């Protein structure tokens, strides 16, 4: 093995142990690995291993940067975990100042970066000056990234949950307490009134239960939002599941859900994709039957390209009363409800589409809602089909597959 | 090394430096916008102070980038795509600087806001998110010289405009409900307007990227996009 090759192995080892040390909260970077593993490559004797090839073998997210903050290389793990967000992370002003602070004497810096869009993420970067004899093509800093979004999300979601739950549950709870007081007092000897009140109370309690379930779903979805889905979705199966799961609601409302699907698989979380489509279909069913016509709801899919990326789009269409244009931009806000035309409030809590939006954000997808009053509504969910993504920096991977 | 390759190399390095400056400016104004939105929506005072503080750095970078671009134009007489890239860079740095100014002005307004009239900031928050996301994608497209991404950003601004109209109507309702809301609502109206302007400059950046990459201009009338936090796929 050549001298440079050996030095590379050393760097790899010290990086690995070093990173483990920092994450465990250790402050000290071991100056040299306690023992040197012997990396023998008899078959490729004499071949030099590049820094980039080494990084691709790391289980951590590693980047190579220049001193001015241009990204020269991202390893497979970094691309898989951070993907499109890498650009935003690297050009963050605090990363730039940390890069500037690295000189011959300070060789290590740690920065925490918070991203707001497309989903909130907290990323910790540990920057390390690459020794001069290893650097090539202007590369001078190695950055190891770790995703700290999970801890951050747990805290935020908990706070949000308490706030929303207490706010939204207060009204139905006050109603329940009112009825209980009436049952104990004025209506204590009136069986007819008791029966009627108990029915209202049961309905209120049911509402509260559904609200809590939706809030829990929303919290779960928010917690995993920053983690890219790694499973596989069978589009035809997902559509079939939506059809089966919405069948009870359809038969109550006397609607036949028309579905059309083609065989196609793409990367994603199938349960979540089903949840998205089911929420949209349930909305469509509820609204279609208030349109005053024979209700028609359909779920169709097609392959389509958005912004140069291959993808698949699912369209849920209904012929309900439609939604006024002024509501459209705000539909995915949580607790946003469209007031009913005849002063009636919409049946839900305004959480369904918020859940839909978070799931689509997680999949890097797009949601578009088009509606015409008196004609109906089209909701289109576009999800990228990964794997065929054009990615200039992507290299054939040795670790995946 | 011969003289010719040396010249080419340093020319490439100068272009690289210009791109680096634009990426840094992009990072700074992204941060400013993020902090400005946070200052208004979450009432975060620290964020409100940080956003205007970054302004001098952005201005300085704009001047440096302009000087460098002019230098390259004068000394190297670039052609075709290089020429377009440099001309676009001159304008893009201008757009970025304006975005920084708007963000700073939003943050300053946030300090004056006195929020207890029960005014909902949810609409402003989603508008802020949308504008930030478009800005992020525009700067990504700039770094990657990605034509398709630029078109997507250009189309997505329709949603920002729609949200602005919705905000306008909503704030108007608050003002009619209770005249005591007028003070805060006027501030918020300017905040929404400035966000909308940031969206417009983001669109400009997307147009210039498209021009630099393809040599063609995008049509002056934008097709209507759908709702969403991004461009609408070819729905229907």
Residues B60-84 have pLDDT tens digits of: 999 999 999 999 998 888 788 889 9
Higher pLDDT among residues B229 and B111, named by residue: B111
Q: Has this prediction a pTM greater than 0.90?
A: no
Contact B227 A369 (CB under 8 A): yes
The Cα-based distances of B127 to A299, B26, B199, B207 in angstroms read 30, 20, 10, 21
Domains of chain A (ranges; CATH) run 3-147 (3.30.450.20), 150-227 (1.10.287.130), 229-401 (3.30.565.10)
ipTM score of the complex? 0.81
When CB atoms are compared, the residue of B28, B133, B228 closest to A93 is B28
Give tens-digit pLDDT for A325-361: 878 877 887 777 776 544 444 567 788 898 999 999 8
Half-sphere exposure of A117 (CA within 13 A, CB side): 24
Domain ranges of chain B: 11-214
When CB atoms are compared, the residue of A117, A307, A308 closest to B133 is A117
A–B interface: beta-carbon pairs under 8 A: 135
Alpha-carbon span B135 to A120, nearest angstrom: 16
Which residue is closest to A113 within chain B, CA to CA? B31
Report residue B85 as tokens.
Answer: 């890239």
When CB atoms are compared, the residue of A329, A334, A370 closest to B159 is A329
Across the strands, what pairs with A114? A122
With a cut of 60, say whether residue A394 has pLDDT above it. no
Q: Return the H-helix or E-strand segment holding B70.
A: helix B55-76
Task: Name the class of domain B11-214.
Answer: mainly alpha
Contact B163 A330 (CB under 8 A): yes
Chain A residues in contact with chain B using a Cβ-Cβ cutoff of 8 Å: 68-70, 84, 87-88, 91-93, 95-96, 116-118, 304, 306-309, 311, 313, 315, 325-326, 328-334, 336, 357, 361, 366-370, 378, 380, 382, 392
Measured between CA atoms, how close is A55 to chain B, in angstroms? 23
Which residue is closest to A137 within chain B, CA to CA? B13
Q: Return the H-helix or E-strand segment holding A366.
A: strand A366-372
A248-264 average pLDDT score? 87
What is chain A's mean pLDDT, rounded? Answer: 79
**Interhelix angle for B45-53 vs B3-42, to 10°?**
150
B147-176 average pLDDT score? 89
When CB atoms are compared, the residue of B126, B163, B227 closest to A368 is B227
Measured between CA atoms, how close is B150 to chain A, in angstroms? 8
Q: Strands, DSSP E only, in B168-223?
A: none
User: Which residues in chain B are contacts of A315 at CB distance < 8 A?
Assistant: 235-236
Ramachandran category for residue A320: left, alpha or beta (phi over 0 → left; psi -120 to 50 → alpha): beta
């Amino acid at each position: 093995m050549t001298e440079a090759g050996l030095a590379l192995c050393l760097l790899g080892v010290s990086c690995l142990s070093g990173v483990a040390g920092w994450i465990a909260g250790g402050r000290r970077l071991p100056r040299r690995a306690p023992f040197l593993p012997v990396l023998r490559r008899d078959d490729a004797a004499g071949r030099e291993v590049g820094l980039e090839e080494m990084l691709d073998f790391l289980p951590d997210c590693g980047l190579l940067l220049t001193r001015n903050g241009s990204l020269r290389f991202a390893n497979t793990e970094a691309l898989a975990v951070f993907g499109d967000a890498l650009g935003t992370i690297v050009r963050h002003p605090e990363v730039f100042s940390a890069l500037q602070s690295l000189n011959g004497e300070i060789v290590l810096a740690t920065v925490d970066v918070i991203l707001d869009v497309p989903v909130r993420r907290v990323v910790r970067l540990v920057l390390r000056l690459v020794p001069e004899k290893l650097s090539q093509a202007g590369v001078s800093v190695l950055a190891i990234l770790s995703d700290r979004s999970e801890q951050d999300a747990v805290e935020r979601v908990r706070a949000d949950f308490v706030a929303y739950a207490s706010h939204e549950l207060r009204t139905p709870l006050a109603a329940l307490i009112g009825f209980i007081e009436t049952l104990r007092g004025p209506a204590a000897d009136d069986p007819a009134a008791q029966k009627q009140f108990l029915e209202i109370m049961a309905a209120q309690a049911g509402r509260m239960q559904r609200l809590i379930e939706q809030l829990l779903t929303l919290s779960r979805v928010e917690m995993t939002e920053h983690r890219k889905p790694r499973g596989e979705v069978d589009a035809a199966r997902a559509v079939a599941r939506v059809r089966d799961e919405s069948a009870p609601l359809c038969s109550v409302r006397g609607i036949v859900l028309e579905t059309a699907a083609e065989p196609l698989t793409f990367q994603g979380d199938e349960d979540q994709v089903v949840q998205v489509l089911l929420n949209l279909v349930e909305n469509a069913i509820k609204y279609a039957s208030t349109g005053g016509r024979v209700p028609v709801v359909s779920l169709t899919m097609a392959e389509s390209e958005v912004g140069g990326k291959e993808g698949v789009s699912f369209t849920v269409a209904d012929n309900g009363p439609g939604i006024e244009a002024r509501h459209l931009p705000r539909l995915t806000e949580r607790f946003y409800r469209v007031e009913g035309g005849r002063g009636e409030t919409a049946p839900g809590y305004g959480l369904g589409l918020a859940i839909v939006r978070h799931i689509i954000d997680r999949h890097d997808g797009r949601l578009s809602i088009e509606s015409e009053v008196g004609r109906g509504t089209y909701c289109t969910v576009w999800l990228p089909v990964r794997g065929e993504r054009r990615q200039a920096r992507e290299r054939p991977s040795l670790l995946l597959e | 090394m011969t003289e010719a390759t040396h010249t080419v190399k340093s020319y490439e390095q100068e272009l690289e430096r210009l791109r680096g400056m634009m990426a840094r400016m992009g990072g700074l104004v992204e941060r400013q916008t993020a902090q400005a939105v946070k200052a208004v929506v979450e009432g975060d005072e620290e964020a409100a102070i940080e956003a205007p503080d970054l302004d001098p750095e952005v201005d300085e970078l704009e001047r440096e980038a302009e000087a460098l671009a002019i230098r390259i134009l004068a000394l190297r007489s670039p052609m075709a795509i290089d020429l377009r890239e440099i001309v676009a860079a001159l304008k893009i740095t201008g757009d970025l600087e304006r975005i920084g100014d708007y963000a700073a002005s939003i943050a300053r307004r946030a300090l004056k806001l006195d929020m207890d009239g029960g005014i909902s900031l949810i609409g402003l928050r989603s508008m802020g998110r949308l504008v930030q996301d478009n800005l992020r994608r525009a700067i990504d497209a700039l770094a990657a010289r990605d034509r398709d991404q630029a078109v997507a950003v250009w189309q997505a601004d329709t949603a920002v405009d729609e949200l602005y109209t919705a905000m306008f109507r909503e704030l108007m309702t608050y003002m009619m409900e209770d005249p005591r809301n007028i003070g805060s609502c006027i501030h918020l109206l300017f905040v929404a307007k400035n966000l909308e302007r940031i969206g417009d400059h983001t669109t400009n950046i997307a147009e210039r990227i498209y021009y630099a990459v393809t040599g063609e201009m995008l049509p002056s009338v934008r097709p209507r996009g759908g709702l969403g936090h991004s461009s609408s796929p070819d729905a229907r």
